[in-house]
Structure 1
Amino acid sequence: MPVCGGCFEFARRLGVRCALQPFRGDPDERPIGPLYKVSRRGPWPSQPNRQRTSFPTKLALISDHLLGFFPSILPLIQCAMACTQEVVFDVNLIENSALEDGLAGWAPVGSCTALSVHEEEPAKVPTETINDVAEDYRPSGRYILASGRADETDGLRQAIKGALKPRVTYRVSGWISLGGGAATTAEEGAGGHAVCVNLRLDDECVVKGGAVCAEVGRWTEIKGAFRLKKSPCAAAVYVQGAPAGVDVKVMDLQVYATDRRARFRKLRRKTDKVRKRDVVLNFGSAASGISGASVRVFQMDSSFPFGACINPSVIQNPAFVDFFTKHFDWAVFENELKWYHTEAQQGQLNYADSDALLDFCDQHGKPVRGHCIFWAVENTVQQWVKNLDDDQLKSAVQERLQSLLTRYAGRFPHYDVNNEMLHGSYYRSRLGDDIDAFMFRETARLDPGATLFVNDYNVEGGSDPNATPEKYIEQIAALQQKGAAVGGIGLQGHVTNPVGEVICDALDKLSAATDLPVWLTELDVCESDVDLRAEDLEVVLREAYAHPAVEGVVFWGFMQGHMWRQDACLVNSDGTVNDAGERFVDLRREWTSHARGHIDSAGHFKFRGYHGSYVVQLATATGKVHKTFSVEKGDTPLVLDMNL
């Protein structure tokens, strides 16, 4: 029986040996954490010194000893359940969000700010939303106008009366637009300003809840999230940003706890449709002689690859190599292919590290993503490159392409051509608008077999006004119009407090507008609490794996002490796999198919399996027979003739 996490007390004078283990939901599902053993022989201490054992998440009793032999303990556990933290999901903590009671609950921020309620024209009310509280949700059309703002910190606020719980991911949603105002000169749809939703806790700490690039005459949905380490005594939500004098409009602001368990159930069903297929193994004319024979099917490889970042140091670490070779299919070099590494000083080429890493990957059969040819962010550009005049810079760009791509032609299936163009424009600012497309065109000419990617960060998070899915789509379209052979979309995935619906929304928009495959190219999930890190990681991986546009996931490292971001590791420095790493391994195991049974009277063996390569083992009177086959994507059952 599942019980809520908390502190469990056993006060009976009984000899008890039991075990408790955290589960994701139903007790027949796989466990998500280590087995907690509680053992006591002889009398329990009398009150107030009861035996107490704390558990962080949902638990399931898995020992027959406890309830089988001591059913009278059950009321004690039920009592403990009543004392644990209650979280109400999908209930808006913002009162009067739809403004049915005017401005009740709302207050201006700033001595000059005035608030007023208005009704949007029906034709301008947003119709597309990722609000997941109710499937039939539609924006109300009523909004607050904050006018007369004298500072960018001015806006509006509301105190949150419901208690915010620690360790719970809260979603921030709503719609933001800009009005006229004395400082607004932009026409509708032209440019915009960042508007933020923040929380102020106990009148001191400020927690970011989300941000959008708001525009005049256009409603933009905010898609933020936050999580707290402890419950505050007081909390208030603020909407701020945009320059002084610009009016800010806010429609249907919501803050609510997200139900990850419910989302995971939906994703399991979606995954079954996207990543699995019915298979019929037909043993044909031999059926009469082998009807009822034993069959076992094993999946050997998945069509959905997972990869990891490597460097010269980590491939010397036996624990790293062991985990990498067991659990990852692809690799990417951390720095060794970047221009600042291969040519730190002008004319002094150094490919020794990248050659060694390629040899390592070849030995272990791991394809490698080419990251990256150029990097658009100025502070990543070598000083000698910055010192060149424009003509010299154009020549250096051409020489970089020629040197790298002729040396490694055919060795890298993917290339990130010019990294992070949503956040940097160094080469474009120096060499003109066509240079980014030129890099793609030349890469395609020199290595035509490689798939060329754009690659950027924060697009999947929904809270970076500079990196929205819409801006990414515009960038890709502009490149393609100039002849750039953009073949894939890279979402880096440097994630904190992920919300599945926000990730899915970004994936939906990118795939619908571009029809390009998506890879998570630099995934790391940052959270100091390793239990929460494991849960956050599961959020990202389940969303990616369940989405038909995503074709692979690459981690930006996984071992403590060998990662760019702290508090993101899957494996500790001593080689032990932590809870986040166990979650990753468990998910890979869940997404691997095995089947066993017997051939039916028609000579068939049927199963449903994940896409990938398989081996079937048939036990006959004369011995065991093995055959290999592959399961590709398809909407109809795959019928395969097993010619023995």
Structure 2
Amino acid sequence: MPLFLWLTFVLFYSGSAISGQITQAVFSDVQYDALATTQCLAEPASTMYGGGVIVNPEFSNGTTGWAMFGKGVIEERISRSKNRFMVARNRKRPVDSVSQKVRLEKGKFYAFSAWIQVNEGSETVSVVFGVGDGEFVPGGSIVAEQGCWSLLKGGVAANSSSTVDVLFESKNTSKEIWVDNVALQPFSKKQWRFHQDKCIEKVRKSRVRFQITYAKKRGLAVRGAKFLVKQTKRGFPFGCGMNFHILESTDYQNWFASRFRYTTFTNAMKWYSTEEKQGQENYTIADAMVKFSQDNDISIRGHNVFWDDPKYQPDWVKTLSPEDLRKAAEKRINSAVSRYAGQLIAWDVVNENLHFSFFEDNLGKNASSIYYSTAYKLDPTPRMFLNEYNTIEYCGDEKVSPGNYKKRLKEIFSYPGNEDIPAGIGVQGHFGPGQPNLAYMRSSLEILATTGVPIWLTEVSVEPGVNQVSTMHGHATGCAGSDWLARKEKLVRLGQAFLFLQSARPTLPADLVNIK
């Protein structure tokens, strides 16, 4: 029976590692452009990579290289500042837009960027890749606005060599799509790894100088001394989900405590676990798991105070009137947060409140903001997280796109009184059995990083699949199918997930120390 785990660990966490020089065996003349912004600009920023494989990326040669995909009209326009851009109008279908055919090469990652505007209001615009037979692979999205330019950044990768249509999609066909400074830059797997290593050297490592002196000779250095440095723990949080079976198995306890310094309880702290029947609270299991964690120096993420998905409420909560729900929720948050005050490093206060809105629908649009405020007043120690799925896993889920995630984060933490709450970004990371879209993942993390808020991968899981180890090490395809939208708490094979994450994010520090 294979062993499955639920992983919890951090990206963008300050930590240092001791390392010797890494020999760069691969030369890359095209540097990855990590520019990311969610600001809407009066004029678009310069084209990344000079456009890469895109012909006429700035439309300086009119419509050369571009065509209308589907029905409608494309036309070149010139702004007051003499900037040229392309417009798709009179559209009939969401995918009717300006397009260009490009040849993708098997095994390469493609970083995409473009500056987008709409002619009225605001609208979600996505880049999609037409692969034939009416199939479109999404590569990222942005909420475009009238009167200013927004950066749409994403990516795709090729599992075969083929010609595709690069085009834009907006469900509201009455809106014009304005496009400028388009880029699609290919990277080989060697180039991608080169950029990862370069980023690791810059962000995750620092030089440390050791000097050994005689104890009784006032700092006199010992010449020719030899010493061994052994890394005893990681410089960044790396953990695993814990369930109640740990209270029953010594083997499980020994296995867990010898490997992990961080944990999230998979279910023990959730409302439906601690108050299955109204008025009958039972924290016995959660308390015992907290004690085990504390006895073994394992830090705990609180998961969760509330869950905004109607399906995951305690059964008795689902039938409450709004007023009774308000009273029950107030009792719940006071009970859970106060009970573990000072004992947790984080709380997922209202879980998945971009996808769902149970408390907002029943108690008002500011329900989540109020609960974050309440949790902070009860215990100001933990970092208070939003926690969502599909922000990095599936680029077709517009609800939780990086831009919408950032918008929701701002709504909650700019609510009066919430400005000083330590915020956290939780991206769950529930991946299917296929190949993850690493190019899109990286661009998503870059956009989220513009908040300056710590980013944690909170529930990493990978569904079992054929040849999974090689798949996780290999190149990515486009986004998976819509079944990813329903993904919930699943578990993960440790080795496979770690192989994947080493490839997915260039700023993960190395586990091994190498001193020369």
Specify if TM > 0.5.
yes
Conservation of the 8 A alpha-carbon contact between 1:172 and 1:224: yes
Shift of 1:570: 2.8
What does residue 245 of structure 1 align with? 174
Q: Which whole-Å CA distance do the structure 2 matches of 1:367 and 1:226 have between them?
A: 36
Q: Which whole-Å CA distance do the structure 2 matches of 1:108 and 1:340 have between them?
A: 53
Conservation of the 8 A alpha-carbon contact between 1:402 and 1:446: yes
For the structure 1 residues 282 and 178, does the alpha-carbon distance in structure 2 shift closer, same or farther, using more than 3 Å as the test?
A: farther
Shift of 1:267: 0.5
Q: Where does the alignment leave 5 or more consecutive residues of structure 1 unmatched?
A: 1-23, 29-88, 124-140, 187-191, 538-562, 597-644
What does residue 224 of structure 1 align with? 154
Name the count of aligned residue pairs: 446
Correspondence 1:502 to 2:502: no
Conservation of the 8 A alpha-carbon contact between 2:213 and 2:222: no
What's the secondary structure of 1:301's corresponding residue? Answer: coil
Conservation of the 8 A alpha-carbon contact between 2:109 and 2:157: yes
- Measured against aligned partners, the alpha-carbon deviations of 1:161-214 in whole angstroms (never above 9, x if no partner) come to x2x2334322222122112xxxx4x3xxxxx22222222224354322222222
For the structure 1 residues 387 and 328, does the alpha-carbon distance in structure 2 shift closer, same or farther, using more than 3 Å as the test?
A: same
What's the secondary structure of 2:384's corresponding residue? Answer: strand
What does residue 405 of structure 1 align with? 337
More strand by share: 1
Q: Which whole-Å CA distance do the structure 2 matches of 1:322 and 1:119 have between them?
A: 67
Shift of 1:302: 3.5
Conservation of the 8 A alpha-carbon contact between 2:346 and 2:382: yes
For the structure 1 residues 408 and 501, does the alpha-carbon distance in structure 2 shift closer, same or farther, using more than 3 Å as the test?
A: closer
For the structure 1 residues 427 and 453, does the alpha-carbon distance in structure 2 shift closer, same or farther, using more than 3 Å as the test?
A: same
Conservation of the 8 A alpha-carbon contact between 1:373 and 1:417: yes
The residue correspondences of 1:604-619 to structure 2 (distance < 5 A) are none
What does residue 616 of structure 1 align with? none
- Measured against aligned partners, the alpha-carbon deviations of 1:533-591 in whole angstroms (never above 9, x if no partner) come to 24689xxxxxxxxxxxxxxxxxxxxxxxxx9457x53347xxxx98559989xx98834
Q: Which whole-Å CA distance do the structure 2 matches of 1:570 and 1:156 have between them?
A: 44
Shift of 1:262: 2.9
What does residue 116 of structure 1 align with? 75
For the structure 1 residues 489 and 460, does the alpha-carbon distance in structure 2 shift closer, same or farther, using more than 3 Å as the test?
A: farther
Shift of 1:323: 6.1
For the structure 1 residues 318 and 25, does the alpha-carbon distance in structure 2 shift closer, same or farther, using more than 3 Å as the test?
A: farther
Shift of 1:395: 0.4
Conservation of the 8 A alpha-carbon contact between 1:531 and 1:580: no
Q: Which whole-Å CA distance do the structure 2 matches of 1:490 and 1:578 have between them?
A: 20
Rg bigger for which structure? 1
What does residue 522 of structure 1 align with? 459
Aligned mate of 2:399, from 458, 462, 466: 466
What does residue 62 of structure 2 align with? 102
For the structure 1 residues 589 and 104, does the alpha-carbon distance in structure 2 shift closer, same or farther, using more than 3 Å as the test?
A: closer
**What TM-score does the superposition give when structure 1 sets the normalisation length?**
0.60
Q: Where does the alignment leave 5 or more consecutive residues of structure 2 unmatched?
A: 1-21, 27-48, 477-487
What's the secondary structure of 1:328's corresponding residue? Answer: coil
Conservation of the 8 A alpha-carbon contact between 2:262 and 2:300: yes
Q: Which whole-Å CA distance do the structure 1 matches of 2:234 and 2:80 have between them?
A: 51
The residue correspondences of 1:275-290 to structure 2 (distance < 5 A) are 277-280=208-211, 282-283=213-214, 285-286=216-217, 290=222
Q: Which whole-Å CA distance do the structure 1 matches of 2:229 and 2:329 have between them?
A: 51
Q: Which whole-Å CA distance do the structure 2 matches of 1:91 and 1:344 have between them?
A: 57
For the structure 1 residues 582 and 360, does the alpha-carbon distance in structure 2 shift closer, same or farther, using more than 3 Å as the test?
A: farther
Conservation of the 8 A alpha-carbon contact between 2:502 and 2:508: no
Correspondence 1:487 to 2:411: no
Letter of the 2:91 partner, please give it: R
Q: Percent identity?
A: 24
The residue correspondences of 1:325-336 to structure 2 (distance < 5 A) are 325-336=257-268
- Measured against aligned partners, the alpha-carbon deviations of 1:11-65 in whole angstroms (never above 9, x if no partner) come to xxxxxxxxxxxxx98579xxxxxxxxxxxxxxxxxxxxxxxxxxxxxxxxxxxxx
Shift of 1:147: 0.8
Conservation of the 8 A alpha-carbon contact between 2:52 and 2:183: yes
What's the secondary structure of 1:299's corresponding residue? Answer: coil
What does residue 569 of structure 1 align with? 493
Conservation of the 8 A alpha-carbon contact between 2:115 and 2:150: yes
What's the secondary structure of 1:296's corresponding residue? Answer: coil
**What TM-score does the superposition give when structure 2 sets the normalisation length?**
0.74
Correspondence 1:156 to 2:98: yes
Conservation of the 8 A alpha-carbon contact between 2:99 and 2:168: yes
Q: Which whole-Å CA distance do the structure 2 matches of 1:340 and 1:475 have between them?
A: 26
Conservation of the 8 A alpha-carbon contact between 2:154 and 2:444: no
Q: Which whole-Å CA distance do the structure 2 matches of 1:330 and 1:350 have between them?
A: 24
Q: Which whole-Å CA distance do the structure 2 matches of 1:510 and 1:277 have between them?
A: 30
